[in-house]
Structure 1
Amino acid sequence: MSWVMANVVQRRSIRSFTARTQVHAGDLADRAALLKKKRREVQYLPHFDTTFFWHGSCLYFVSRSLDSFHTSMSDPSYDGIGGEELTLGCLGWSTEPIKRLIQTCEEYADRQTEFFVIIYARDRYGMSWQPKARKPIRRVDTVHFDDGLKQALLTDMRKYLDPSTKRLYQSRSMPYRRGYLFFGPPGTGKSSLSTALAGEFGLDLYEVKIPCVASDQDLEQMFQEIPPQCIVLLEDVDAIWTDRDSKKDEQAISRSSCTLSGLLGVLDGVGSAEGRIVIMTTNKPDRLDSALVRPGRVDMKVMLGNISRKSAEQMFVRMFTPDIESSPLVVKERSDATRPDDESISPESDALQELALEFSSHIPDDTFTPSQLQGFFQLHLNSASEAVANISNWVERELSKSLLDDDISVVSEGKTS
């Protein structure tokens, strides 16, 4: 009926509609289910007994049994699922056109659905996992780092989650686990990438902040309660063995009561579960023990560094594309053979590409984090031209501020010594 509303009613003058809210079973009982869905909204459907329409080369008809619908709505046990009889038919000797139309309607419904990533964290007493937040699915393309490394990461994770991979691991008596290390300066998108990957593969995200875990026993209990099919995000893993560092650095590091052996035990010890994806993040990869990052515990290392000019160009296009769903996230490669009046590029997108190229020319490579650049865009979201006009001054101010911070750091270290 939603597909009919969008594809048939627009061409007809139907003036009567049935309004209803959609209620799904389990919504009131499961808090996590509530977080995964957007709010219930009123749905308006065309009110008719029978209507005919053309789709492709077939003439279809849809008949509604409105009595069955009204009967369901008046039933106190009605859970909002189904409850209405539809008869769909077409002229011809085969039911294949009807099956294709139903598939078209299903695909249409999937595109209208809004999905969220559920992020779990320990409750305030550290006793149990609770869904703390839901976030709209974020496309991996919106996390800016090396495109080749990004595709390699997606390919590796997709291959691991393939059911055939699990069967292969089991047939070879290999532990079915996968670990990743995301490292780089603060603000480069390590946590954002983890959330985007959870949305990309339809997985829940369990967040473990290593500096906040009280003991090895608490860490073990947390992992025992994590389901197998999910992503576990271990943040700031460098904090777990700070007692190995020199005394002069201790004051600048968040300490944890967990030990390295405790962490290794929950990752791949005798009682550790299989099937999870573990993502560890750190700002200080040089502090990590070699036992933690060996193959089998960390299967792939992903560096998220400061933004490049190409990524800055991509970010500009994403920020100012009018229709975000059709945003050309990967900026087209330019060459001398590319003509300004290329028919494959609309005037609007061509102008946007030119502005993006000019904008990125002011961004020095490997200097600013993506979060810094995003902060700039937040001030100029209403005008792409204004963003281009102001980026040069912003870069100068940020570079001056960085030099000042470095000078203050040097003076402070001199006083300390």
Structure 2
Amino acid sequence: MSQPFHAGGAANLLDSRAQSFGFLKTTLAARLHELDFTHFGSILAVVGIVPAAFRFFHSAWQSAATWVKRFFIASVTIPPGDPLNRSVSSWILENVVEPRHMRFQTARTEVGRDLEAGSHLKKTPRAVQYFPHWRSEWFWYGKTLFGVSRSLDSFTAGMQDPTYDGVGGEELTISCLGLSATPIRAFINKCREIADSKAQFYVIIYARDRFGLSWKPKYRKPLRRLETVHFDDKVKHNLLSDIRNYLDPRTKKLYQSRSMPYRRGYLFYGPPGTGKSSLSTALAGEFGLDLYEVKVPSIANDGDLEQMFQEIPPRCIVLLEDIDAVWAGREQRLERSICDSASERSATPSISNVTLSGLLNVLDGVGSQEGRLVIMTTNKPDQLDSALTRPGRVDFKLYLGNISKASAEQMFMRMFAPDLLSWARQSSEKSDSLDEHISLEQLRMLAARFAAEIPEDTFTPSQLQGFFQSHLNDVMQAVSRISEWVKQELPDRSDRHLEVC
């Protein structure tokens, strides 16, 4: 049952609260009168000193750090884009950054990814690339503590390049305690040795970046064996002997002692599809050399061409493809571009102003570099200027023609060798479509039958390779259908001059 409300009780409660509030007010007033306000000035003075003290200690810390860095720390800085930078960055990513499971990453849409089988039938979203986002790290290598830092400004600039893979595109600074940079040099050399051991199975192809400012690794292609480039074995042996003799350090000393320029030029010529570019790549892998592509039509002028050649290292292969097309029809291209520009109201077309004299100057002029192998390819050697092909600029000419019966037999054996069939059986989902009962002796007999159907000096290696691509899973079918394929291809040979390498 509820209690009755009494107004007197409520009044008593309010009076007690008012009395308590009055007592608190009186107590605070008494305490304020007792305080010495000079203490507040001291507190304010201390508070004002804190920022000044912070600035002083910060400056002292920076000065001490600079002093320690100057007298007790050694460092080496590697510029972005240098091959050495990539070697060190790869080691750090594999051994320092990745094991720590970085929580901070940079994401970018992947470009140039190979599409899976069947994905060309539908729109396939591109994958996302993730790069560790780090600024500085400390790590032990041997008994030495190293510190490495990188410039994120250069990393951000490199991310704008679609071909950049997130490695080696930022400035690195490596430091360690001590008065000597010897431990850092040893560490860098070790990183390069590890990178070289991994790169021995690849050919690195360099090209100019999209701005034309520096050389960038464009491709990393697996080594291609020279056996996969089919032409006369004797000529192939002579070519390898010539390059091996040129790269011998004793040859360089011999040239220098006779005051002869240490250069070697090669001209690969023949019909389209005979393997001129493939041979250049195979030679780079055979001798462990990097390959630099020089596309003369895309170079603005002789000065840019000279700058490009000055930045190419001495021991490498310089490839100038389709050298006959550099100046041939230049007036027609210019007229066509001007007409297109006028009709579309576009800007003035960009036409290369590289001259023949400019190319000759970088090949063997006063300022030309030495120690390289320069390979030029052409489909029309008769259109080349004699000044370009004279000895000293072109020292070895190699004709790559249509395939012979002997080369066709070798290509058949390479395509259907038992070890390749074994690998295909393990990786193919349709293993029952492969002939698992072909011995090596039977394969040789089939190769002879196959080569007998190939006309001598009629088809290019690329044509024959196109046939093999459609019959890789069935040896017997390749032999039985080659005759029909030859009959179909022969009437079309009148149009083969339209092909481009």
TM-score of the aligned structures, taking structure 1 as reference length: 0.64
Q: For 2:268, give the aligned amino acid.
A: F
Deviations 1:216-265 (A, max 9, x none): 122111101100010000111112332699x89x99xxx85321101100
Q: For 2:396, give the aligned amino acid.
A: M
Matched, 1:400 2:491: yes
Structure 2 residue runs of 5 or longer lacking an equivalent are 1-79, 96-136, 143-195, 337-350, 423-437
In the TM superposition, what is the alpha-carbon distance from 1:126 to its structure 2 partner?
A: 1.2
Q: Secondary structure at the match of 1:241?
A: coil
Q: Which residue of 2 aligns with 1:289?
A: 385
Tell me if the contact between 2:418 and 2:440 (Cα under 8 Å) persists in the aligned partners: no
Q: Secondary structure at the match of 1:279?
A: strand
Matched, 1:317 2:408: no
Matched, 1:361 2:446: no
Match of 2:482 among 385, 391, 402: 391
Cα distance change, pair 233–351 in 1 and its aligned pair in 2 (3 A): same
Cα distance change, pair 114–231 in 1 and its aligned pair in 2 (3 A): closer
Q: Which residue of 2 aligns with 1:351?
A: 442
Q: Which residue of 2 aligns with 1:271?
A: 367
Which aligned pairs between 1:28-39 and structure 2 lie closer than 5 A? 33=87
Coordinate RMSD, CA, aligned: 3.6
* Equivalent pairs, count: 295
Matched, 1:126 2:212: yes
Tell me if the contact between 2:207 and 2:216 (Cα under 8 Å) persists in the aligned partners: yes
Identity, in percent, stands at 65
> Distance in 2 between the 1:382 and 1:131 partners?
35
Q: Which residue of 1 aligns with 2:237?
A: 151
> Distance in 1 between the 2:448 and 2:296 partners?
41
Q: For 1:302, give the aligned amino acid.
A: L
Tell me if the contact between 1:208 and 1:234 (Cα under 8 Å) persists in the aligned partners: yes
Cα distance change, pair 115–175 in 1 and its aligned pair in 2 (3 A): same
> Distance in 2 between the 1:134 and 1:183 partners?
25
Q: Which residue of 2 aligns with 1:77?
A: 139
> Distance in 2 between the 1:385 and 1:299 partners?
45
Deviations 1:79-135 (A, max 9, x none): 69xxxxxxxxxxxxxxxxxxxxxxxxxxxxx99986100000001111111000011
Tell me if the contact between 2:200 and 2:288 (Cα under 8 Å) persists in the aligned partners: no
Which aligned pairs between 1:252-267 and structure 2 lie closer than 5 A? 257-267=353-363
Match of 1:239 among 302, 325, 345: 325
Cα distance change, pair 256–309 in 1 and its aligned pair in 2 (3 A): farther
Q: Secondary structure at the match of 2:386?
A: coil
Q: Which residue of 2 aligns with 1:45?
A: none
Tell me if the contact between 1:121 and 1:207 (Cα under 8 Å) persists in the aligned partners: yes
Q: For 2:271, give the aligned amino acid.
A: P
Q: Secondary structure at the match of 1:258?
A: coil
In the TM superposition, what is the alpha-carbon distance from 1:174 to its structure 2 partner?
A: 0.5
In the TM superposition, what is the alpha-carbon distance from 1:214 to its structure 2 partner?
A: 2.3
Q: Which residue of 1 aligns with 2:277?
A: 191
Matched, 1:220 2:282: no
Which aligned pairs between 1:105-116 and structure 2 lie closer than 5 A? 115-116=201-202
Deviations 1:124-159 (A, max 9, x none): 111111000011111111101111111100000000
Q: Secondary structure at the match of 1:301?
A: strand
Structure 1 residue runs of 5 or longer lacking an equivalent are 1-25, 42-74, 81-109, 327-346, 410-417
Q: Which residue of 2 aligns with 1:71?
A: none
Cα distance change, pair 360–40 in 1 and its aligned pair in 2 (3 A): farther
> Distance in 2 between the 1:325 and 1:169 partners?
49
Q: For 1:195, give the aligned amino acid.
A: T
Q: Which residue of 1 aligns with 2:65?
A: none
Q: Which has the larger radius of gyration?
A: 2
Tell me if the contact between 1:358 and 1:388 (Cα under 8 Å) persists in the aligned partners: yes
Cα distance change, pair 36–154 in 1 and its aligned pair in 2 (3 A): farther
> Distance in 1 between the 2:366 and 2:357 partners?
13
Tell me if the contact between 1:240 and 1:257 (Cα under 8 Å) persists in the aligned partners: no
> Distance in 2 between the 1:113 and 1:348 partners?
35
In the TM superposition, what is the alpha-carbon distance from 1:268 to its structure 2 partner?
A: 0.5
Q: Which residue of 2 aligns with 1:169?
A: 255
Q: For 1:384, give the aligned amino acid.
A: V
Tell me if the contact between 1:215 and 1:257 (Cα under 8 Å) persists in the aligned partners: yes
Q: For 1:366, give the aligned amino acid.
A: D
Q: For 1:164, give the aligned amino acid.
A: R
> Distance in 2 between the 1:325 and 1:34 partners?
40
> Distance in 1 between the 2:443 and 2:367 partners?
55
> Distance in 2 between the 1:185 and 1:79 partners?
55
Q: For 1:155, give the aligned amino acid.
A: S
Q: For 2:378, give the aligned amino acid.
A: T
Q: Which residue of 1 aligns with 2:294?
A: 208
Cα distance change, pair 351–325 in 1 and its aligned pair in 2 (3 A): closer
Q: For 2:465, give the aligned amino acid.
A: Q
Cα distance change, pair 118–244 in 1 and its aligned pair in 2 (3 A): closer
Match of 1:378 among 469, 476, 479: 469
In the TM superposition, what is the alpha-carbon distance from 1:384 to its structure 2 partner?
A: 1.5
Tell me if the contact between 1:211 and 1:236 (Cα under 8 Å) persists in the aligned partners: no
> Distance in 1 between the 2:253 and 2:421 partners?
36
> Distance in 1 between the 2:382 and 2:392 partners?
19
Q: For 2:392, give the aligned amino acid.
A: G
TM-score of the aligned structures, taking structure 2 as reference length: 0.54
Q: Which residue of 1 aligns with 2:315?
A: 229
Q: Which residue of 1 aligns with 2:56?
A: none
Cα distance change, pair 156–310 in 1 and its aligned pair in 2 (3 A): same
Match of 2:266 among 180, 183, 186: 180
> Distance in 2 between the 1:35 and 1:293 partners?
43
Q: Secondary structure at the match of 2:309?
A: helix
Cα distance change, pair 159–321 in 1 and its aligned pair in 2 (3 A): same
> Distance in 2 between the 1:36 and 1:195 partners?
25
> Distance in 1 between the 2:198 and 2:205 partners?
23
Deviations 1:257-313 (A, max 9, x none): 321101100000001010000000111100011111111110000011111111000
> Distance in 2 between the 1:174 and 1:198 partners?
25
Tell me if the contact between 2:294 and 2:318 (Cα under 8 Å) persists in the aligned partners: yes
